[in-house]
């Protein structure tokens, strides 16, 4: 049948011509060995269909056309805006976001969302190099909070029940970029009074003698406090050892081992308390890990006690696999290990952060950098206004007498202002004036109080005042001392028609709760220590 055969041959030839033309335009070339056969076919009517080598490979070569010739074609095309720019953003695209992202680039802005302890949040646009301290200062200014170095940024992984306080020099964007996609991770802005307790006068209490016994044996001529202070001044960490509970990998079984933190890393002994190198097993590289507190250890990991912590390597991005879970016997032991880990990892940088924080406190940002002499040193003098006209008091003894009289008059005014009227004439403003104070937290439970003080730092003198749950007319002063939270009942009492508050059955009476707090900030009274830091929460 010549008709159909010819028709088929013409269609095949047309298809081959189209393929050859497309190959020439796109830069496709045949291998050199087949070049002669292909050229003969092009010169004649075309090779028969049976002689075509469709499966033969082709060489792909770059276009020989210079790049300058393509630019006019691209510029001649109309500029069409992208109607879906969010699909091209790696942070929002479901496809591009799964690709590994590199470190944040300098000069670009990033969005950081920060939460407060009451659940409110605020989004801030920061650069790639913004540190945790800089972000805290921004939040302090925007919330009009009291400026001090105890404000901190906390990294919280709720799905893992882990949290840690960022150091002042850490980059916020770098920490956020390491979070797994879709995980319930966030930054929390809150107080942390224990952040720089390392460099305070009572730093030796953080390192008990039993946990640094090897260092004391090597330096028998030095006292415990002197030894710890020498380590801190040099930015190094003493060798710490003690028992810890370790959770075995892949199992829910906890075993007790003797751990040692040395300059080369963290080890545990496979034979009791032996420090023989044959019995020491290398456990973790702290320089490539972050250390976290375990907030709900018994619920999530079945910890033997509530004093758990976790070593999380950088390579572990999500899930519990790869986490090294440990548990201390008490809070003092855990605090010692956490302080040693920070010194081991950051060293002198930690002390520089503390010095910079102290420098910022000594010179607030709203004061001019040049030191100004106080006007009161030159212009204010003692005056006597008892007569018709005022006169300057020049006699030093008379100046002292006038000052004492003024103090007595101010004290009488203050006592009268703080004194509450009788129960039948109670002023609502005077009765509720303590509710405006940042240390008053209303009706919160005993358990929530202990958790709040624990989150903001178990430091001596951290306190808050709350309403009593057992006594409807009373209040409770919750105070931290020796890393334990104690609660003191404040009861109202009435004498000569006036209402007072007392904590010692009326021996010491106060006109209101503000006077009670101010007194114990100066005097210890019946408390084990003075009131130093009040727990507070800010709304973002």
- How confident is the model over 442-457, as a mean pLDDT? 93
Whether residues 260 and 315 fall in one domain: yes
pLDDT of residue 29: 43
- How confident is the model over 275-299, as a mean pLDDT? 91
- 347: number of Cβ within 10 Å: 14
Number of domains in the chain: 3
pLDDT of residue 25: 43
pLDDT of residue 403: 66
Whether residues 214 and 183 fall in one domain: no
pLDDT of residue 89: 47
Confidence of residue 369 (pLDDT cuts 50, 70, 90): very low
Whether residues 217 and 277 fall in one domain: yes
Whether residues 233 and 157 fall in one domain: no
CATH number, domain containing residue 306 = 2.30.29.30
CATH number, domain containing residue 125 = 3.10.20.90
Tell me which H or E stretch contains 281.
strand 280-284
Examine the pLDDT at 173 and tell me if it is beyond 90.
yes
Residue numbers of the domain that contains 508 = 435-534
- How confident is the model over 56-66, as a mean pLDDT? 50
The Cα–Cα gap between 204 and 57 comes to 77
246 occurs within a structural domain: yes
Task: Please provide the DSSP assignment of 65-133 as one string.
Answer: S-HHHHHHHHHHS-----S-GGGG-TTT-TTGGGSPP-PPPTT-EEEEEEE-TTS-EEEEEEETT-BHH
Whether residues 186 and 334 fall in one domain: no
Residues 23-37: tens digit of each pLDDT: 444 443 444 444 444
Are the beta carbons of 20 and 41 closer than 8 angstroms? no
Residues 469-506: tens digit of each pLDDT: 998 889 999 999 999 999 999 998 888 778 889 999 88
Whether residues 223 and 315 fall in one domain: yes
- How confident is the model over 427-446, as a mean pLDDT? 78
Residues 371-429: tens digit of each pLDDT: 333 333 344 566 776 666 667 777 777 777 776 666 555 444 444 444 433 333 444 44
Whether residues 176 and 202 fall in one domain: no
pTM for this predicted structure: 0.68
CATH number, domain containing residue 459 = 3.30.505.10
The Cα–Cα gap between 358 and 378 comes to 29
Choose one of 335, 361, 387: the last residue of a domain: 361
11 occurs within a structural domain: no
pLDDT of residue 395: 77
Residues 519-535: tens digit of each pLDDT: 999 998 999 999 999 99
């Amino acid at each position: 049948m010549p008709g159909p055969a010819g028709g088929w041959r013409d269609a095949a030839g047309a298809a081959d011509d189209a393929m050859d033309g497309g190959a020439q335009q796109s830069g496709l070339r045949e291998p050199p060995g087949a070049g002669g056969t292909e050229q003969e076919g092009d010169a004649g009517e075309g090779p028969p269909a049976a002689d075509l080598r469709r499966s033969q490979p082709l060489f792909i070569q770059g276009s020989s056309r210079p790049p300058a010739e393509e630019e006019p074609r691209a510029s001649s095309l109309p500029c069409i805006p992208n109607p879906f720019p969010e699909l091209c953003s790696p942070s929002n695209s479901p496809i591009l976001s799964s690709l590994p992202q590199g470190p944040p680039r300098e000069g670009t802005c990033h969005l950081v969302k920060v939460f407060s302890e009451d659940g409110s949040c605020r989004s801030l646009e920061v650069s790639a190099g913004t540190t945790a301290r800089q972000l805290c200062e921004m939040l302090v200014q925007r919330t009009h909070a009291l400026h001090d170095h105890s404000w901190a940024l906390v990294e919280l992984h709720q799905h893992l029940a882990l949290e840690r306080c960022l150091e002042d020099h850490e980059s916020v964007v770098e920490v956020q970029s390491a979070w797994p996609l879709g995980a319930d991770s966030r930054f929390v802005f809150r107080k942390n009074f224990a952040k720089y307790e390392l460099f305070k006068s009572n730093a030796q209490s953080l390192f008990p003698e039993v946990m640094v016994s090897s260092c004391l044996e090597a330096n028998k001529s030095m006292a415990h406090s002197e030894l710890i202070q020498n380590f801190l001044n040099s930015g190094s960490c003493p060798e710490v050892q003690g028992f810890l509970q370790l959770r075995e990998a892949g199992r829910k079984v906890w075993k007790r081992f003797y751990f040692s933190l040395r300059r080369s890393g963290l080890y545990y002994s496979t034979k009791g308390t032996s420090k023989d190198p044959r019995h020491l097993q290398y456990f973790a590289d702290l320089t490539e890990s972050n250390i976290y507190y375990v907030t709900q250890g018994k619920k999530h990991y079945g910890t033997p006690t509530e004093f758990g912590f976790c070593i999380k390597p950088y390579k572990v991005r999500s899930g519990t696999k790869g986490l090294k879970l440990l548990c201390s016997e008490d809070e003092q032991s855990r605090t010692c290990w956490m302080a040693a880990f920070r010194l081991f990892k950051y060293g002198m940088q930690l002390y520089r952060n503390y010095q910079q924080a102290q420098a910022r406190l000594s010179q607030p940002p709203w004061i001019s950098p040049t030191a100004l002499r106080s006007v009161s040193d030159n212009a204010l003098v003692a005056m006597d206004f008892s007569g018709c006209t005022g006169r300057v008091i020049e006699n030093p003894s008379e100046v002292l007498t006038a000052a004492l009289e003024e103090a007595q008059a101010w004290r009488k005014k203050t006592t009268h202002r703080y004194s509450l009227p009788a129960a039948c004439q109670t002023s609502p403003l005077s009765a509720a004036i303590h509710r405006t104070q940042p240390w008053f937290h209303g009706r919160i439970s005993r358990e929530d109080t202990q958790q709040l003080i624990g989150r903001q730092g178990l430091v001596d003198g951290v306190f808050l005042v709350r309403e009593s749950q057992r006594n409807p007319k009373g209040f409770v002063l919750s105070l931290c001392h020796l890393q334990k939270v104690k609660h003191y009942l404040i009861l109202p009492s009435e004498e000569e028609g006036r209402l007072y508050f007392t904590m010692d059955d009326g021996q010491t009476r106060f006109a209101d709760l503000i006077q009670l707090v101010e007194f114990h900030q100066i005097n210890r009274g019946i408390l084990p220590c003075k009131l130093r830091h009040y727990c507070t929460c800010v709304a973002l």
